[in-house]
Structure 1
Amino acid sequence: MPRVALYNMNGDQVGEIDLKDEVFGVPVHQQALHDAVTMQLAGRRRGTHDTKTRAEVSGGGRKPWRQKGTGRARHGSIRSPIWRGGGIVFGPHPRDYSFRVPRKVRRLAMKSALSSKVSGGTIVVLDELKIDAPKTKDMIKILENLKVNNKALVVTAERDETVYKSARNIPGVKPLSVPGLNVYDLLAHPTLVITRDAVAKVEEVFA
């Protein structure tokens, strides 16, 4: 059972916390991580790109010149794909790029991402995270106390508007609640800062 240090907002260690093996101690499954990230990024694509085929471009209703006798190649329309300004043959059209991977694979990917934070020593567990008023400098101070100097994902059990507004303007820092936790953000941010209540909720959902 993984055991990590428990810190307060001043950066002092106030104890240790045991994490469940079935969530924070599983072997990292690279293929599951790849599938989950690919699914998430594909779902973000708008898919609104479009090109016109020869049936959609304007003009071309008349044969540009007679079939024989001119010495030039025969053509039936100036909107042929081989003409400048003509239609596009295999261009993109609006489509939905999203797809789904099996639920078990998604859960395995989440557990693998969380376990990689524990095995890499890049998880910081807070006993609590409370800010009286939305102030970015207060969140910066807390991160400095925890010696978090790079990109960080700050996770709380429920959406806390004060924490969210205090952290959203810090470059490289992204606040999330447990319902919004995802594999891509876990991998994109080197450090995971998570509250003890959020750990319990994650274990409740994924154990």
Structure 2
Amino acid sequence: MKIKIQTLDGSAAKGDIELNDAIFGLEPRADILHRVVTWQLEKRRGPARAARERSEVARTGKKFGRQKGGGTARHGDRRAPIFIGGGKAHGPRARTFGHSLNKKVRALGLKMALSAKAKGGSLIVVDNLDVASGKTQTLAGQLAKLGVNRALFIDGDATNVSFARASANIGGVNLLPVIGANVYDILKHDTLVLTRAAVEQLEVRCNG
């Protein structure tokens, strides 16, 4: 599959690039994409820290007062929830939400997400992400010419500093290094924009 390499302002003047059909030309499967996205979102959840309940608090179990005649309620020990240092009544319990997913399924999901963008015409390849002086106004004008609104930009090993600075205040525009490319973010955005370096490194990553 061949695709034109554009500049950030939308002009196609950088020739063509050959995309690997084993990565960008697969037929997307909804079940694989659903499994990978579900795994990502569940791994992202933060479980609550467990609280110690009455039976787990390290305090004496000795009855500290008389059963009658003390003028207060009858208590067996200081582990009761109403006392300072006592156990928590109905406290949060530790839970794990994540589940394992085979590495081959995760890799296949990434390939299918990339293929879905390529087949849907939502994939753009640019030469680089250089923004003159890192100005937000300059980048906004370039994105308007490029015709993107909600877009995920994926760069090479390290993200472009000028683009990161310029895009920080533009809603719907996100930037990731190639190591951070993932199925959920790719599918969530309307457009996927890859640099030439990102394409090369994604092919290495997916074939590795």
| Preserved contact between residue 28 and residue 113 of structure 1 (Cα < 8 Å) | yes
| Preserved contact between residue 55 and residue 87 of structure 1 (Cα < 8 Å) | no
SS at the partner of 1:170? coil
Q: Deviations over 1:87-142 (max 9, x none)?
A: 449x643x333333111001000000000000100011112221243322222122
Supply the AA of the counterpart residue of 2:2.
R
Match of 2:11 in 1: 12
> In the TM superposition, what is the alpha-carbon distance from 1:10 to its structure 2 partner?
2.5
How many angstroms apart in 2 are the aligned matches of 1:139 and 1:105? Answer: 36
Supply the AA of the counterpart residue of 2:12.
Q
SS at the partner of 1:105? helix
Match of 1:158 in 2: 157
Percentage of identical aligned residues: 35
More moved, 20-29 vs 30-39: 30-39
> In the TM superposition, what is the alpha-carbon distance from 1:161 to its structure 2 partner?
2.2
More moved, 22-31 vs 41-50: 41-50
Match of 2:167 in 1: 167
TM-score, normalised via structure 1 length:
0.77
How many angstroms apart in 1 are the aligned matches of 2:165 and 2:131? Answer: 10
Supply the AA of the counterpart residue of 1:187.
L
* RMSD (Å), alpha carbons: 3.1
Match of 2:113 in 1: 113
Structure 1 segments (4+ residues) deviating >6 Å: none
How many angstroms apart in 2 are the aligned matches of 1:19 and 1:161? Answer: 26
TM-score, normalised via structure 2 length:
0.76
* Consecutive unaligned residues in structure 1, runs of 5 or more: 63-78, 80-85
How many angstroms apart in 2 are the aligned matches of 1:27 and 1:202? Answer: 18
Aligned residues: 191
> In the TM superposition, what is the alpha-carbon distance from 1:45 to its structure 2 partner?
1.2
* Consecutive unaligned residues in structure 2, runs of 5 or more: 64-79, 81-87
